[in-house]
Amino acid sequence: MRTELQADCYAGAWAHSAAERQLLDPGDLEAGLRAAAAIGDDRLQKQATGTVQPETWTHGSAAERVRWFRRGYDAGELDACDTFGAASL
């Protein structure tokens, strides 16, 4: 799961770089955050089975995915994406 959240953070760092180079259209950041939330394991499980089982997650919750994407975007640095060194996700 930490690998997937790290990828979300890297995506946020890329979006930061793209925004600095004026490559994002209005609403792109919000669309990225919505996408990260939509594919959280909690939401996908709830939609598929009606229940949520955190012990089976492989990609992280919607909140975790958004938090790590936002962390990468806000920092704009890959060094901010150390999910393996983070005490909590």
pLDDT, block means (10 residues), the chain with 89 residues: 97 97 96 94 96 96 97 97 95
Q: Which domain holds residue 74?
A: 2-81
pLDDT attached to residue 19: 97
pLDDT of residue 64: 97
What pLDDT is recorded for position 50? 96
DSSP H helices in the chain? 2-20, 28-38, 41-49, 62-75
User: 30 lies in a domain?
Assistant: yes
**Residue 35 neighbours by CB under 8 Å, 6+ apart:** none
Give me 16's structure tokens: 């930061």
66 assigned to some structural domain = yes
Answer whether residue 38 is part of any domain: yes
Q: Is 54 in contact with 89 (CB distance < 8 Å)?
A: no
54 DSSP assignment = G
The pLDDT of residue 73: 97
pLDDT of residue 11: 96
Residue 73 is assigned to a structural domain of this protein? yes
Total number of domains in the chain: 1
- Please give the Cα distance from 83 to 29 (Å, whole number): 21
